[in-house]
Structures are given as C-alpha cells and as structure tokens.
Structure 1
Amino acid sequence: MQRIFRDIRIMLLANLWLIPVLAALVGALFYFVAPPPPMHARLATGSPSGGYNAFGERLKEELAKQGFELELVRSSGSLDNLSKLQRGEVEIALVQSGQELTLDSHQRERLHGLGVMYQEPLWLFKRKAVEIDSMADLLPLRVAIGAPDSGTRSVSDALLAANQITAERYPPQWQPVSGTPAASALLAGDLDAGFFLGPAESAVVQRLAASTELDLVSLRRSAAYRARLPYLTRLEVGEGLLNLASNNPSRDIRTLAPVATLVANDAFHPSLTPLILEAAREVMKNGTLLDPPGAYPAAKPQTLASLSEADYYYEKGLPILQRYLPFRIASLADRYIILLIPLIVIMIPLSKAVGPIYRWRIRARIYRWYKYLREIDRKLDDGTPPDQLASEIAQLEELEQRLAKVEVPLSYSNELYDLHVHLRYVIERLQAVQRRQAAEEQVG
C-alpha cells in the first residue's frame, strides 16, 4: 500500500505543470462567459384597479415560485409605461398595442416585443335610458373618455377621430377620467356613458356589468374601424357574457380590442425571456371569458422587433435545460456549456500529452545521469590523467549514494536499476585503469 501511495505522489509531482494550465483555462472560462441573468426585474403596470395591475400581480406570484422577484411599478397607463421604459425606470412594461406608433424610429429601435399577453376589449357603457347609435350621438352627452396618457383615452381618441370628431370638437361636458373614478360617476348618474378598457374579468368592468341600470353599446361598424385601425381586433360578445344575473350585455354585441403586449428595453436581460413568458403562459393557461385556454401569450400581432429568445420560445418552447432544471441552475449551465466546448477541445489533446510528458519527466530523473557517465566514458577513451582518476571515482561513488535516494514509480524501477549497473560498471573501469596505471608506475 505504501508503494502505491508513493507512486501516486510521484505521479502528482511529475504533473504539477497541469495546475497552472488548468487554472488559466478555467480563469479564461469565467472571464469570457457572460454574467448570469439577474433574479429581479421591474414591470410597469397601471392603476391598482386596472387589468395590467391584476395581470402583474398574478405574474409576480408565478415568478416567485422560481425565486424570481418581479417588482410592480404603478403608472397612469400605457403611454406612461412607454415613458418609463424610455427613461429606464423599468426593464419591462405592459403596453397597449398601437401605443408604440407614437414613438419615432430611434425610440422604437431601443424597445423589443416579448409577445401578446391578452386582449383588452373596449367597453362603451351607457345608462339604459340613453340611446347611442353612433359616435356622433355622444356629443351632447356627459361622457368619460379616459384619463390623459391612458390606454382608454388612446383608443377612444382614435375611434372619435375616425368619425372626424377631433380633440378640438370635444364638448366641455366630456370628462377626462377612466377606471374607478369614471365607473363611480357613471353608476351615480353623474355621467351618461363612458369608455372603459380592460379584460372582461377586471374589477371595474364587472362592477359596471353588475348594474341593472347600465348596458353596453355595440360598435356595429367594427369592420370599418378595424380597416382604419389595424392594431385593433373585432370581438363578438354574447348576451349576458359579462354578467348573467343582470344580463349584461342585453344582446349580442360587437366591440374592438387592442392587445396587451409585453415590451422590454435594452436594460432587460434577454435570458429572462423564457422564464417570464412561461410564467405568463401559466397565468393565462385557463384563458378568460373572451380568450380561449392556451391562446396567450402569443407572438403576434405586434409591431416592435422581437427578441430572438422570444422567437425561440414561441417556436420551440422552453430551452431544453429549463424544462428539467430550476431556472437559476439551468441558465448557469446553459451559459457555461457553450464555453465548455472549446475547453474540452483543448483538454482532449492536452490529456493525450499527459502520458508522454509524464514518462519523459520520470525518465529524465534517470537519463540525466547518463550524460555524466558518457562524458567520463569519453575521457577514458582519450586517456584520463592519473591525478583525475581518484576524483572521478569519488564523484561516481557519491553519485551512487544519491541514486539510492531517487524515487521512481515501480514500472520504471528497471531503468533505475540499469543506471545503477552502468554506474558500477564505469566505476569498475576507472578502478581498473587506476590499478593498471599504478602497476605501470611500479614497473617503471
């Protein structure tokens, strides 16, 4: 057993040169690999009662299962979310489709689409006593058209503009409010009608749909609006879909819907894309009253350039490692595997060189003595002076003692013993020459 441990120690000492080589390779691996993605991001949502905030809360809860912290940043609406992205206050934001068209080309180049999360129907609620057949019928009424910079205001402005009702023509009784304040005013009778934007399940929409004093307006000319505003889609809403008890809507209606898109800026780490999209898919897996199960998130429709990671997710799903490992571990493994490939390519020939180099280093312990023996052998052929013979013999005998302390693996012992034999042979030759010279001196 002692012999085995000694051979292992000799082998390790002979290959110490591998340590700095491996250290350099590992150092290069960590130097060139990209840092791991952060486990935190900020998402711009909207008002506390809005659909964006509700979706953000569910997404945050789902991401927390992977140890990812999603910080929700409240805002006044979709346009405000775009501004926060531009200023770098958040990394991702929920943005209503069509809002990005308000940006110039340079600003849009700095943003990336991660996909469509769900549809955002536009609801035009009115009090039942009010008759509304077209947008022009709203002019004499008290109407909530949406707060400035809100998604509701953006869509209502677009629909009104399509009817040649521009901001300059807005009557003074129209109110720039949306969400909960607008709903409260409409229910109280302080408004005759109001535009609202959000999923059918949103708290504001359900509150309005539960009232027996309100009904929904059908946008009969939805096809004409869709032709002029391509970022909107047509929706068929069946009778009683929002609330069966109040039978709201009281008949089948048509409406329009932009979509809620997830948008990222340059500060967003692309590797987080599949994690967030998978969490969004889990949130939307059961669908909504208007969206079928499994329909969202979806790649289109969106006008911003998408990230390659998002394209991969929609085409093939999660990266292979993330299907079986937690995100933190999978993302690290995925990044290092890419750089491990060239490391392995280097290590294969390096490992093949270990054996020959090891043999050379072990034999070097033995063969370096042969150089000295060969020099003495040449001196013998040339005739070593008598005064040097004793010195050479003494040096060789000292060398013989030093060789006794040389350690080599058991498999190389025969070469060490050969050296001992050759060393003794040279010593005996020198001694024979020394005796011959001494005899010649006596005879002379």
Structure 2
Amino acid sequence: MNVLKQGALFVRANLWIVPLVGVLVWVLFRFLDPAPPRHIAMVTGGEGGGYHQFGLALKERLAEDGLTLELHATRGSMDNLERLTADSPDVQLGLVQSGTTRLLERADLKKLEGLAALYHEPLWLFQRTGLQIERLSDLAGKRVAVGSEGSGTWAVVGSLFEARGDASRLQNLDGGNWQKLPGDAASEALEKGELDAAFFVLPADNERIAMLIANPNLELVSLVQARAYAARLTFLDHLTLTEGLLDIAGNVPRQDVELLSPVATLIANQTLHPALTSLVLEAAREVLSKGNLLDPAGAFPAAKPLELTLTGEADYYHRRGVPFLQRYLPFWIASIVDRYVVLLIPFIAIMVPLVRSMGPIYSWRMRARVFRWYAQLREVDKLIHQGNIQAEIEAQIERLHRLQDELTRVDVPLSYAHELYSLHLHVRYMINRLESMRTGAQESGSDDALE
C-alpha cells in the first residue's frame, strides 16, 4: 500500500474531528467579547464649563483614532451620575467631581467603575476681608454659601463637616445662616456683602475665581488643617497655592495659601467596552500633557485620588501604559489580534489532546479492521468446548473459507500487515482443526458400520 493510500485511510479514520472542531470554534466565538464599537457617548457638564471643554478636546483627539465621541452637556456631576446609573444608560463615560459619588445609593455605586483622575478642581473658600477665618469651626454663626444641594461643592463641604464630626451643622444649615446657593448666586451675594463667606469648586483658571481674587473686599482663606482633612478624605488632595502663582506681577496671592482639592474624574458604567479603556486614557493623557498652574506636565491622568475601584484595564494602563500590541499596531488592528489571541489559547489547549488522540484512534481503527474477524474464531472455539461442533462442523468450515476469501480483500497499511497475516494463519489453523475433527468423525462412523 502506497503512502497516499495510507494517508487517505488516516484521514478517513479521523474525520470525526472535523465537526468537533466546528462546534468548538462556534462556542469560542459565541462567548468571545464583541469587537469594540466605533461610537461612544459621554456626559460632561454645562457648555462652556471646564468639563465640557475637556470633552471637546478629548473628542477631537479620539477622532484621530477613528473613535467617535458623542458629548452630552448636563448640569454637572449629579446629573452625570444619574445618566450613567440609569437602568438603560445611553452613555458610557462621564466626568464627575471626586466626592460626589458618596451621595449615591449602594446599588448605583456598583454600576460604576473608575478610569482616572484628570485634574485638580480646588475647593476655594472666600471671606469678607478682616473676618480672619482659618478653620471650618470659624464659620459658626456666619452667613455662608455651601453650594446648591446635590452639587459638587455641597458634596465636598458635607464630607469636610462629616470628617470633623459636625455633619448636623450642614444639615441644619447652622440655624439658617448658611445658604444653598449655586456658584453665580453665591459670588454675587458675597460681593454685595450679603454673605460673609462662600465655598466654590472650580479650576484655578476659572474667570469667577479671578474676579473674586481681584476684589479688594474679599480674601482667600488658607485652611490651616488642610493636610489633616486630606489625610482623612482620600478623594481630596492638599495643595499649596504659592505666593504670586495666579498673578506674578500683582503678587496674587500675597502669601502661600493652603487648599483642599477634589479632582475631576473620568468614570464609566458597565456598558463601556473594556478594550476602549486604554484608547480613551491615552487620548486623555495627550490632552492633559501640558498640565496647568496646579498640575505639572505628565501628572494626569492618574490612578489617584479616586473613590471608585479602577477597572482592570484602567489599572493596567496606570501601572504599565498601553497594552503591548497597541504600542506597535493601530488600535483597531491590535484589538482584533488581541481578541483572537485570547481565542487561540483555549482553542490550542483543547486541540492538543484531540490531535494527540488521532494517532491512537487511527491505530485502533486499523486493528479493529483485523480483530473484528476473531469474533468468528471465538464462536467456533466455544462450540468445540461445549461439544456442539459436530452438528455445525460443515457450516462452520464453509463459513471460515468465506472468511479466508474475504481477508484477501482487506486493505490495511503495511505497518499493520503482520496482524492481518496472523489472522490468516489463525483462520487456516481453525479450518485444519475442523477438517481433522470431521475426518475423525467420519472414520469412527465407518468403523461402527463394519462392526
């Protein structure tokens, strides 16, 4: 038998593996993550605000990578959290101020994960000149704006009073002296003398901050316990606003000011495709690469401070940068390769033992083509041992002759020929044995007739 014939026999003996591989591939593809979408949506903040401006820059940068970012302007962090935790969210990403997620229910918190801290948004406390406010306790009995309820300012101020064990003061609004006012209304009331102090959470380059600092009737409060609060509240950083940082020529501020600062954070819900995380964070890194007055170049995006647990992909990015393949291939190609590498690993793990079984199965099939004939020889053996062979001896001899003829047409590889020829010998042996028994019986019958 030539090599081609042996190959054909091997293939036929292992055709069972073809449908099995088909089912395996279907199962793996069925449970493999779908390809990343090329369109995602993000909630930012009010148009013209810092969050929305960052969103616009991020959108432009992601467009270079072929990802469309749809921006949704909102009223701020709490609106963003509500959109992200909806039962059927229409957005995947959002910008929120650190400290605001503490206002969510536990069930809603489980729907969110952190991606990165983006930049500082200091908590500014302005006072009327001469009030000498240095600690939060100095605000007792004074007229203070603490931010509108549900706002980022309200959330941070509430956390500060909770940290000092005085949450009831904010809840009761200090007997009516404290007011829940949005930023515009608070700054206007403060300038008019209707307030003694007001809290704001805004970036350092915000026009409202510049206006308040320029007002000779107002002073920026330096909190002497800023470090202590930052140590207790992990979503806040301690910052020192150095003398002259905001305006060197005008020497603003006139001395170092101790501030507490939440950060703008990028968060996601469970509808964001994991593969897009590194793409979004790398785009954010380029947008923020130059830094600002408070944030040195390259400091953000960062893993801290964050309230929410980082996704696995975000944690990897902050520790090691973009995944290996994305350093050398365009994102979409790297994503495809990465997905199919993940598919290939279990495929190989399953296929290796299957392929190894092909040889033994082929060997068993070839031997089976020979050994199945031994069943007829065993039947003859049983008849002999049971003493029933004489009644069937002619039929069995004829049956074995047919088997012998059939064996001449059996086709097996040369490596299994010795088993076929052994069967030939055994069949011949059994025929000879039966013929001897038949002759002996005939001679015995003749002797009985002569007597």
Counterpart in the other structure of 2:46: 47
Distance in 2 between residues matched to 1:411 and 1:375, nearest whole Å: 28
SS of the aligned residue for 2:116 comes to strand
Question: Is 2:376 the counterpart of 1:372?
Answer: yes
Alignment of 1:232-271 (within 5 A): 233-236=238-241, 239=244, 254=257, 257-268=261-272
Distance in 2 between residues matched to 1:9 and 1:235, nearest whole Å: 81
| 1:35 aligned residue (33, 36, 49) | 33
SS of the aligned residue for 1:87 comes to coil
Preserved contact between residue 120 and residue 258 of structure 1 (Cα < 8 Å): yes
Counterpart in the other structure of 1:80: 79
Structure 1 residue 442: Cα displacement: 8.7
Task: For structure 2, list consecutive stretches of 5 or more residues without a partner in the other structure.
Answer: 134-144, 161-168, 189-197
Preserved contact between residue 124 and residue 221 of structure 2 (Cα < 8 Å): no
Alignment of 1:329-344 (within 5 A): 329=336, 332-333=339-340, 335-336=342-343, 339=346, 344=349
The letter for the 2-side match of 1:417 is Y
The letter for the 1-side match of 2:373 is W
Number of residues of Structure 1 aligned to a counterpart in Structure 2: 414
Structure 1 residue 412: Cα displacement: 1.3
Preserved contact between residue 115 and residue 303 of structure 2 (Cα < 8 Å): yes
Distance in 2 between residues matched to 1:35 and 1:93, nearest whole Å: 23
The letter for the 1-side match of 2:116 is G
Structure 1 residue 94: Cα displacement: 1.0
Distance in 2 between residues matched to 1:215 and 1:124, nearest whole Å: 15
Counterpart in the other structure of 2:297: 293
Alignment of 1:126-141 (within 5 A): none
Aligned residues: CA RMSD? 5.4
Distance in 1 between residues matched to 2:335 and 2:373, nearest whole Å: 57
Change (3 A) 1:333 1:384: closer
Change (3 A) 1:272 1:176: same
The letter for the 2-side match of 1:57 is L
Counterpart in the other structure of 1:14: 13
Alignment of 1:110-125 (within 5 A): 110-121=111-122
| 2:414 aligned residue (403, 410, 414) | 410
- Deviations 1:223-251, CA, capped at 9 Å, x for gaps: 45676686364342664867x9x979697
TM-score, normalised via structure 1 length: 0.68
Structure 1 residue 123: Cα displacement: 7.6
Structure 1 residue 67: Cα displacement: 4.9
Distance in 2 between residues matched to 1:249 and 1:380, nearest whole Å: 117
SS of the aligned residue for 2:372 comes to helix
Change (3 A) 1:158 1:225: farther
Counterpart in the other structure of 1:128: none
SS of the aligned residue for 1:294 comes to coil
Alignment of 1:336-355 (within 5 A): 336=343, 339=346, 344=349, 351-355=355-359
- Deviations 1:304-339, CA, capped at 9 Å, x for gaps: 444455444434444556556645236525754775
Task: For structure 1, list consecutive stretches of 5 or more residues without a partner in the other structure.
Answer: 126-130, 137-143, 186-193
Question: Is 2:279 the counterpart of 1:280?
Answer: no
Change (3 A) 1:20 1:145: same
SS of the aligned residue for 2:411 comes to coil
Alignment of 1:424-443 (within 5 A): 424-427=428-431
Distance in 1 between residues matched to 2:441 and 2:101, nearest whole Å: 107
SS of the aligned residue for 2:220 comes to coil
SS of the aligned residue for 2:33 comes to coil
Preserved contact between residue 322 and residue 330 of structure 1 (Cα < 8 Å): no
- Deviations 1:365-414, CA, capped at 9 Å, x for gaps: 0011122134346657858548852x444433433343333222232123
SS of the aligned residue for 1:362 comes to helix
The letter for the 2-side match of 1:115 is A
Distance in 2 between residues matched to 1:135 and 1:17, nearest whole Å: 87
SS of the aligned residue for 2:41 comes to strand
Structure 1 residue 285: Cα displacement: 3.0
Identity across aligned pairs (percent)? 40
Change (3 A) 1:271 1:153: same
SS of the aligned residue for 1:262 comes to strand
Question: Is 2:63 the counterpart of 1:101?
Answer: no
TM-score, normalised via structure 2 length: 0.67
Preserved contact between residue 233 and residue 258 of structure 1 (Cα < 8 Å): no
The letter for the 2-side match of 1:280 is A
